[in-house]
Amino acid sequence: MKKTLFFLLFTFSLIASSCSNGSTGSQTNSPTKEANAAEQANTEADQTNEEIPSTNEQIKEIRSMLKMKDSKLPTKFPITDTEYVGAKMNKNESDEYSISFYQTQEPVPINDESLATNDNRIATFKAETFDDPAKQKELFPEVSLDSIPDDMKVELGHQIIGMKEGAAGSSYLLWKEGRWVLQIKSISADELDTINIARKMVDYLEENALPVPKDNGRIEVSYPQNAEEVEVTARWEEENIVYTLETEEVPINALMMTVSTE
């Protein structure tokens, strides 16, 4: 009878011990598996981020490819957080280069063949070396705003006075900021509010400085018929090199890219 009782107690003890160990093991392994899964997810995310080059990394790579010494490039572009910048090198010589930048929905390598059919061009940036100072000077026609007739004066804010005039069916609004001349051209019949556009540009440049040219810088904003589109050219000289940014983005975006050039 005692042996039977002892056997039953021993068996019960083994069963209880087994249940206890199983339960403990399950509780110990569960958080470990979750931690491993989280660590793996973080690792995969880090690897994904490493594979997607930032705009700064792309610009750095382009700069390393350019043959011209002391090259300059825009470093900021009007894209959203879910868009990317693609770059295609149109020309790359020791005395000049030209690069077109595109908006893409996924990261692509520099000079990727998909850019040949991409219609979302953001801007084209060029640098050209001039050996003839006279030819270089042709790009920057002289503009005098020292004596503006009262009926042509326009207050643009921040103590900047512009001049508005019309000629051959076109309307021109000009003003100066340092060594830069800025001009907005539109069709007179469209009655576009170029003064409001100019004031927004002046406000932006009050907080954001344009590159400092050696002598001259010029920004031309042109609105064709009906003002449904816009063409902007920003051009400035540094010694015998002329940098040019061409875009169909709105003027503020054009200024942003020009200001970011370094």
Cα–Cα dist 101/249, whole Å = 12
Q: In sequence order, what are the residues at sequence separation of 6 or more whose Cβ sits closer than 8 angstroms to the Cβ of residue 138?
A: none
Instruction: Output the pLDDT for position 54.
Output: 82
Instruction: Output the pLDDT for position 90.
Output: 98
Rounded to 10 degrees, the C-alpha dihedral 54/55/61/65 comes to 160
Instruction: Output the pLDDT for position 60.
Output: 94
CA 42 to chain centre: 28
Instruction: Output the pLDDT for position 20.
Output: 47
Instruction: Output the pLDDT for position 45.
Output: 44
Contact 68, 127 (CB under 8 A): yes
pTM of the complete model = 0.80
Instruction: Output the pLDDT for position 167.
Output: 87
Q: Helix 194-207 to helix 251-259 angle, to the nearest 10 degrees?
A: 20
Residue 91, strand partner residues: 98
Q: Where are the domains of the chain?
A: 1-51, 55-129, 134-259
Q: In this structure, what DSSP letter does residue 134 have?
A: H
Q: For each successive 10 residues of the chain (262 residues), what is the average pLDDT?
A: 44 47 46 55 47 82 94 97 96 98 96 96 98 94 92 97 94 97 96 97 98 96 91 97 98 98 97
Put the strands of the sheet holding 84-92 in their side by side order.
84-92, 96-104, 121-129, 241-247, 231-238, 217-222, 180-187, 170-177, 161-167, 153-155
Instruction: Output the pLDDT for position 70.
Output: 83
Cα–Cα dist 174/162, whole Å = 5
Contact 210, 177 (CB under 8 A): yes
Q: Do strands 217-222 and 84-92 pair parallel, antiparallel, or not at all (unpaired)?
A: unpaired
